Amino acid sequence: MTTKDVVFGALGLLACCSGVLVVTARNVIHAALWLVVTLGALAACYLLLTADFVAWVQVLIYAGAIVVLLLFAAMLTRAPVGPGQDLDSGNRPAAALVAGGVGVTLVTLLVQAFRSAYVDLDRVAGTGAGRPIGDALFRSYVLPFEIASVLLLAALVGAIVLTRPEIGRR
């Protein structure tokens, strides 16, 4: 049990707890903020696993951009931004049961599968750095990477179709 293990465990706990708070928060904005904490804690976990590129991309993209967009959407639309009761429905217990079941199953599964797995961080250090990631993206997975751009194009066109009226123009 090194300091690193303790910190890693604490971050994991933080991520889990704030994850629960994301779901239980009565206020959309607070939920989004707890999501930031979750994502930040995950980024810190990546850092501890010596994947610094992944970690900072996680902060930049997820915590820094996507949740800001979420907040933005919540504030711009007529969604209730104050504390509201209508965030929950009567299905709460059922949802909790399903989520708990899935969680327990997955944890059991992963613990069982990787109980004796051991990764020497010194040996794999840098696999999450910029160069190996670039190598994976532009060589091993170049086609999925390029096709993902097609997917984004479709989303872009779709967003314009759904939102931008063009009455009588041109």
Partner 1 sequence: MNQLISTSPLSLPSRAPVAATEATVSTFGHDPWWLILGKVVAVFVFLVLITLFLIWAERRIVARMQQRLGPNRTGPFGLGQGLADGIKLALKEEIIPAMADKPVYFIAPIVATIPAFLAFAVIPVGGVVSIFGHVTALQVTDLPVAVLFILACSSFGVYGIVLGGWASGSTYPLLGALRSAAQVISYEVSLALALVPIFLYAGSLSTSEIVAAQNRFWFVFLVPSFVIYMVSAVGETNRAPFDLPEAEGELVGGFHTEYSSLKFALFFLAEYINMTTVSAVATTLFLGGWHAPFLLSRVPVLNSGWFGLVWFTLKLLTVLFGFIWLRGTLPRLRYDQFMRLGWKLLIPASLVWLLLVAAMRTLVVEDVNLRRNLVPVGIVFVVLLLLVSFWPSSKKPDRDGEGEDGHPEIAVGNRAFPVPVLPGEQTDPTLAPREVTRA
Partner 2 sequence: MSTAQSLPALAADFPAPQIAYSALSPMVAVFGAALIGVLVEAFAPRRARAGLQLAVALLGLLGGLLAVGLLAGTREVTAVGAVAVDGPALFVQGTVLALGVAAMLLLAERSLESGGGAIVAQAATVPGSADERALVGTDHLQTEVFPLAMLAIGGMLLFPASNDLLLMFVALEVLSLPLYLMCGLARRRRLLSQEAAVKYFLLGAFSSAFFLYGLALLYGYAGTVSLPGIAAATQVTASNDGLLYTGLGLLTVGLLFKISAVPFHSWTPDVYQGAPTPVTALMATGTKVAAFGALLRVYYVAFGAIRWDWRPLLWVIAIATMAVGALLAITQRDVKRMLAYSSVAHAGFILTGVVAATRAGLAGSLFYLLAYGFTTLAAFGILTLVRDADGEATDLSSWAGLGRRSPMVAGAFAILLLALAGIPLTSGFTGKFAVFSAAADAGAAGLVVVAVVCSAIAAFFYVRVIVLMFFNEPAADGPTVAIPGAFTSAALALGVAVTVVLGVFPSPLLKLADQAALFIR
**Helices 3-24 and 28-48: angle between axes, nearest 10 degrees:** 160
Site string for partner 2, 4-23 (x = CB under 8 A): --------------------
Q: Which stretch binds partner 1 (CB under 8 A): 111-119, 121-129, 137-145, 151-159?
A: 121-129
- Which of 12, 23, 56, 137 is close enough to bind partner 1 by CB under 8 A? 56
Inter-residue contact 41 to 28 (CB < 8 Å): no
Q: Which two tokens stand for residue 35?
A: 């999501």
Inter-residue contact 18 to 38 (CB < 8 Å): yes
**Smaller CB separation from partner 1, 75 or 98:** 75
Q: Which stretch binds partner 1 (CB under 8 A): 5-13, 86-94, 119-127, 151-159?
A: 119-127
Name the nearest CA neighbour of 16 among 139, 100, 86, 82: 100
Q: Compute the distance between CA of residue 153 and CA of residue 53 in angstroms, rounded to an integer.
A: 26
- Which of 131, 141, 154, 156 is close enough to bind partner 1 by CB under 8 A? 131
Helix H segments across the chain?
3-24, 28-48, 52-57, 67-76, 92-114, 121-124, 130-135, 142-163
Which partner, partner 2, partner 1, none, binds residue 59 by CB below 5 to 8 Å per kind? Answer: partner 1
The residue to which tokens 């009455």 are assigned: 167
Could you say whether residue 132 binds partner 1 (CB under 8 A)? yes
Could you say whether residue 150 binds partner 2 (CB under 8 A)? yes
Where does this chain bind partner 1 (CB under 8 A)?
27, 29-30, 33, 36, 47, 50, 52-53, 56-57, 59-60, 63-65, 68-69, 71-72, 75-76, 81, 121-122, 125-127, 129-132
